Structure 1
Amino acid sequence: MASHTRRRILQGAALAAAGSVVGGYGGGHYAAAAQAATGRAADGGELPFLEGALAPVTEELTAFDLTVTGRVPRDLDGRYLRTGPNALGLEDPRAHHWMLGDGMVHGVRLRGGRAEWYRNRWVRSSGVARKLGETYPGRVPPDDFACNTHVIPYKGRIVALQEGGPLPYELDGELGTVRPYDFRRTLKGAFTAHTKYDAAADELHAVTYYPTWDHVRHLVVDGTGRVARTTRIPVADAPMMHDFALTRKYVVIVDVPITFDPAAADAGAPVPYVWNERHPMRVGVVPRSGGAARWFEIDPVYYSHTLNAYDQGHEVVVEYTSMPAPFHAAGRGSGGPSATGAPTLDRWTIDLRGGRVRGTRLDDLPQEFPRVNESLVSRRHRFGYTASAAEMWRAYETVDGVPPDEKFTNCLVKHDMARGTKEVHRFPKGAAASEPVFVPRRGARDEDDGYVLSYVNDPDRGATDLVVLSAQDFTGRPQARIQLPGRVPLGFHGSWVADR
């Protein structure tokens, strides 16, 4: 595997083919992205990840004093940010994969009861700078990529994240790209898109993977912002570990049977990872302080995202979203991942004394992007929030001939884990909802005393609104709907970045 360069493994031949140099900063440099937004291959076939609510936008916009229906709560003082793949300079849509689109961050600034501005900006990797006709400042880092999966606040910074190799990128308060971020020169090797910040311990945790490693790494970033400890955990076949879980005592890693395929990389596959029936599905429990993993084999499933995890006596409880096996990360010709069923909300109870894992289906409504009150990461929680977007599940499933379920809908969901109940805030057809983020009310004492923010498409305007719900009146009228000047494509993850 030494013959595979890092950049080729991670980005594939498709990105290299797509990365044409585009001169100027006028209308012409957006032409290729506009072509991609048609969602059509040259032979006329559909590419669902490049059309509808998933289609990339073609311009960077800035708008001030946004129109608001209702009232923006005055204690929302900060920025709501969300990122996702947004292809730029895509010459051949058939060679594109959605997860490899250049990262674009969308943000709204709230202050004093006003929606001061909206901005969307591509992350300026060297490739994006080249396609925009700009000069990349400084030295290009290894595996350079416009991080497209998550954007988080950390120690006064805004950081865009990617898994599998590229360095994070630091952004400024107006979403301009500052520089690659390496945690004060202490990050060696890959990082993750799904960090876990333990506020009580002031520790940022990551589980990282890389195609040429014979292990994965658990990293702990301490209160000084440096990588203070690295634990290597041996694994076979170089699996893709998209997310993990954290409790007060343990790190839970999920060894899914999606593994690196050298032959696919040699052939130029954009995403050289395949569902590997010979690779056992396992859950590993590792002490947070370091040490060997204790492994539990379970039935195959695609572990998508962690809601939260916590210790319960001699048990470890993990709540998460999953999709049925097999899951094809590289897709089946649709231009994005392919699933054989909709994502659901599930729970594992790992019995460390008895040596077994008990699985429980919490909710079979199609839903993804689970979030909790961030102050409770690694601690027991009561409430969780998820999103359902019919167009996303349709794109994931129809390529395999699986018809969308009639109950696919657009909604946000609030789960009460103590009572085993849920509340559903529904949106109309075409109003695709993105990941919900909980923001505590200033001075809040209850876990759900605050707001839930989400980008929701408005099919009548052909644009997107930032919807602000009261978490304690979840099904009621939104407290505010903030009209953005353009559309925010369905994408990945984001955060509230508070000013204080």
Structure 2
Amino acid sequence: MTESWLTGHLAPVPDEITATDLAVTGTLPAELTGRYLRNGPNPRPGEPSKHWFLGHGMLHGLRLRDGRAEWYRNRWIRTSGFTEDARFVRDDLTFDRTAVPANTHVIAHADKILTLVEVGFPYEVTPGLDTVGPCDFGGRLTSAMTAHPKQDPVTGELLFFGTGFLPPYLTYHRLSAAGELVESREIEVPGPTMMHDFAITGHHVVWLDLPVVFDLDLALTGGGMPYRWDDGYGARLGVMPRAGGPVRWFEVDPCYVFHVGNAYEDAAGRIVVDGARYRDADFAGLWADIGGAPDPARAAAGTESARLHRWTLDPATGKVSEEALDDRGVEFPTHNETRTGHGHRYLYTVADDAIVKYDLERPSSSAHDLGEGMAAGEAVFVPAESARAEDDGWLLTIVSDRAGQGSELRVLNAADLSLTATVHLPRRVPAGFHGSWIPDA
């Protein structure tokens, strides 16, 4: 039986190609001049794949300029694990943080394009998607780097963290706008959890210390991802002053969160966090389906889907309130990143059959229907040059046929989710994780 993540629109592609002068339906906005890059796992032909998260990273890129789609290309990220079959865990049980798949995200910061995965160092690539090599910021980075750093839209700093299988389990880092690692400090947590994302506000960092934990026994058996749900670990969110100081922890209902939408401080000084929340049963169903350790009894009660959720943390009283914002299954929440850490009205998410936009002030939602048999990836927001509103811009998403027959880049008007343009891609693009719009300087 072929694993589910090796079939249909998730199936890897066997090679690298370049295509030019791509066909476009509709009109590409002329101000979309830059590169859309998206990362995801793509094992080589014949290579074993024990979990969807473990395939070698492959970038898919489109170059847009002056209303034209000039090129598409895809390239494996040539990490030491890809080129030399280097092992992440060495014989002396130390870690080679260059021997990683670099398959989760791709960002631009301080004139570098970095591909990210949460267990090791980032890898730098060129604008043409060629691999430059691992980046440890001049030797200052000694932990892993999360795949979900946050760029402060005011200071230009890049805030991120690294997790570890051994102490220190969590380390906070701050990169200057110029790309210099200027701060690293250990954050005390009880154990090695699968902390995939976090949040920032204007004055705080928000940690997600949740009950999916590293399991050494699973690691030693050589299975897929060595993580499992642990009822005994507990679930809590932590609020840490960015300027320094202790973490204030708030216990929350047990859950798991892969992705935060955004966070901010409200007028009363409370910390508001929006994210895609899995109940234990929902996580169990998803985890087994993509190669994780199965928990059939728990998964039987789940849906494999997250739902948009809000936590409000009050440092003055120590109380936390929780609110389900919708009952529709969604993932990959995104926002206008000029609002990162500040109040936001809109979030954009991916449902099974639609791109869903949430207006959190009304509150209400609207959807762009993908069409029968189609699946979308993360919708990346690109602000208009002369934007007058938070949702004045476009959404870029790769949409693929679930049967594996083809893919396209859709450009949506973020205000009303109408289809502005479709770039017809020369090949199927496997479902992947995260991407970025990198405008020309």
Q: Please indicate, yes or no, whether the TM-score normalized by the shorter chain is above 0.5.
A: yes
Report if aligned partners of 1:456, 1:464 keep a CA contact under 8 Å in 2: yes
Structure-to-structure mapping, 1:184-199, within 5 angstroms? 184-199=138-153
Matched letter for residue 445 of structure 1 = R
Matched letter for residue 256 of structure 2 = Y
Matched letter for residue 109 of structure 1 = R
Corresponding pairs, count: 423
Superposed displacement of residue 445, structure 1: 2.3
From the superposition, tell whether residues 150 and 437 of structure 1 become closer, same or farther in structure 2 (CA, over 3 Å): same
Superposed displacement of residue 129, structure 1: 2.2
> Is 1:269 paired with 2:223?
yes
Superposed displacement of residue 183, structure 1: 2.2
Structure-to-structure mapping, 1:319-358, within 5 angstroms? 319-326=274-281, 327-328=283-284, 331-332=287-288, 335=291, 340-341=302-303, 342-358=305-321
- Which residue does the alignment assign to 1:31? none
- Which residue does the alignment assign to 1:444? 387
Structure-to-structure mapping, 1:35-54, within 5 angstroms? 45-54=1-10
Once residues 172 and 379 of structure 1 are traced to their aligned partners in structure 2, the CA distance between those partners, rounded to angstroms, is 31
Once residues 195 and 396 of structure 2 are traced to their aligned partners in structure 1, the CA distance between those partners, rounded to angstroms, is 27
Report if aligned partners of 2:168, 2:186 keep a CA contact under 8 Å in 1: no
Q: Deviations over 1:392-415 (max 9, x none)?
A: xxxxxxxxxxxxxxxxxx110111
From the superposition, tell whether residues 82 and 356 of structure 1 become closer, same or farther in structure 2 (CA, over 3 Å): same
> Is 1:243 paired with 2:197?
yes
Once residues 422 and 218 of structure 1 are traced to their aligned partners in structure 2, the CA distance between those partners, rounded to angstroms, is 35
> Aligned match of 1:373 in 336, 345, 349?
336
Aligned-residue Cα RMSD (Å) equals 2.0
> Is 1:142 paired with 2:103?
no
Between Structure 1 and Structure 2, the one with more helix by share is: 1
Superposed displacement of residue 224, structure 1: 2.6
- Which residue does the alignment assign to 1:495? 436
Superposed displacement of residue 46, structure 1: 4.5
Report if aligned partners of 1:88, 1:128 keep a CA contact under 8 Å in 2: no
Report if aligned partners of 2:227, 2:292 keep a CA contact under 8 Å in 1: no
Report if aligned partners of 2:4, 2:289 keep a CA contact under 8 Å in 1: no
Superposed displacement of residue 185, structure 1: 2.9
Between Structure 1 and Structure 2, the one with more strand by share is: 2
Once residues 495 and 150 of structure 1 are traced to their aligned partners in structure 2, the CA distance between those partners, rounded to angstroms, is 8
Superposed displacement of residue 56, structure 1: 0.9
Superposed displacement of residue 99, structure 1: 0.5
Superposed displacement of residue 302, structure 1: 0.9
Percent of aligned positions that are identical? 42
Structure-to-structure mapping, 1:3-42, within 5 angstroms? none
> Aligned match of 1:427 in 362, 367, 370?
370
Once residues 144 and 81 of structure 2 are traced to their aligned partners in structure 1, the CA distance between those partners, rounded to angstroms, is 19
> Is 1:480 paired with 2:418?
no
> Aligned match of 1:151 in 99, 106, 120?
106
Q: Deviations over 1:101-154 (max 9, x none)?
A: 1111111100011000001111001232247xxxxxxxx963411201100111
From the superposition, tell whether residues 287 and 237 of structure 1 become closer, same or farther in structure 2 (CA, over 3 Å): same
Report if aligned partners of 1:49, 1:336 keep a CA contact under 8 Å in 2: no
Once residues 243 and 187 of structure 1 are traced to their aligned partners in structure 2, the CA distance between those partners, rounded to angstroms, is 19
Structure-to-structure mapping, 1:119-268, within 5 angstroms? 119-130=73-84, 142-164=97-119, 166-268=120-222
Structure-to-structure mapping, 1:391-402, within 5 angstroms? none
Q: TM-score, normalised by structure 1?
A: 0.81
Q: Deviations over 1:407-439 (max 9, x none)?
A: xxx110111111111110001222100000010
- Which residue does the alignment assign to 1:117? 71
From the superposition, tell whether residues 378 and 51 of structure 1 become closer, same or farther in structure 2 (CA, over 3 Å): same
Superposed displacement of residue 190, structure 1: 1.0
Once residues 215 and 149 of structure 1 are traced to their aligned partners in structure 2, the CA distance between those partners, rounded to angstroms, is 20
Once residues 331 and 470 of structure 1 are traced to their aligned partners in structure 2, the CA distance between those partners, rounded to angstroms, is 33
- Which residue does the alignment assign to 2:408? 465
Matched letter for residue 364 of structure 2 = T
Report if aligned partners of 2:201, 2:263 keep a CA contact under 8 Å in 1: yes
Report if aligned partners of 1:214, 1:236 keep a CA contact under 8 Å in 2: no
Once residues 160 and 53 of structure 2 are traced to their aligned partners in structure 1, the CA distance between those partners, rounded to angstroms, is 20
Superposed displacement of residue 225, structure 1: 1.0
From the superposition, tell whether residues 379 and 291 of structure 1 become closer, same or farther in structure 2 (CA, over 3 Å): same
- Which residue does the alignment assign to 1:362? 325
Matched letter for residue 148 of structure 1 = N
Q: Deviations over 1:185-217 (max 9, x none)?
A: 321111100000002011101122110124311
From the superposition, tell whether residues 152 and 386 of structure 1 become closer, same or farther in structure 2 (CA, over 3 Å): same
Report if aligned partners of 2:171, 2:184 keep a CA contact under 8 Å in 1: yes
Once residues 56 and 116 of structure 1 are traced to their aligned partners in structure 2, the CA distance between those partners, rounded to angstroms, is 24
Matched letter for residue 412 of structure 2 = L
Once residues 483 and 387 of structure 1 are traced to their aligned partners in structure 2, the CA distance between those partners, rounded to angstroms, is 20
SS at structure 2 position matched to 1:365: strand
Report if aligned partners of 2:8, 2:404 keep a CA contact under 8 Å in 1: no
Once residues 284 and 301 of structure 1 are traced to their aligned partners in structure 2, the CA distance between those partners, rounded to angstroms, is 15
Q: TM-score, normalised by structure 2?
A: 0.92
Report if aligned partners of 1:99, 1:336 keep a CA contact under 8 Å in 2: no
Once residues 365 and 378 of structure 2 are traced to their aligned partners in structure 1, the CA distance between those partners, rounded to angstroms, is 17
Superposed displacement of residue 329, structure 1: 9.7
Once residues 373 and 175 of structure 1 are traced to their aligned partners in structure 2, the CA distance between those partners, rounded to angstroms, is 25
Report if aligned partners of 2:98, 2:121 keep a CA contact under 8 Å in 1: yes
Superposed displacement of residue 441, structure 1: 1.2
Once residues 362 and 337 of structure 1 are traced to their aligned partners in structure 2, the CA distance between those partners, rounded to angstroms, is 30
Matched letter for residue 354 of structure 1 = T
Which residues of structure 2 form unaligned runs of 5+? 86-94
Q: Deviations over 1:292-350 (max 9, x none)?
A: 11111111101120100000123100000011115349943753587633111110011
From the superposition, tell whether residues 49 and 337 of structure 1 become closer, same or farther in structure 2 (CA, over 3 Å): farther
- Which residue does the alignment assign to 2:257? 303
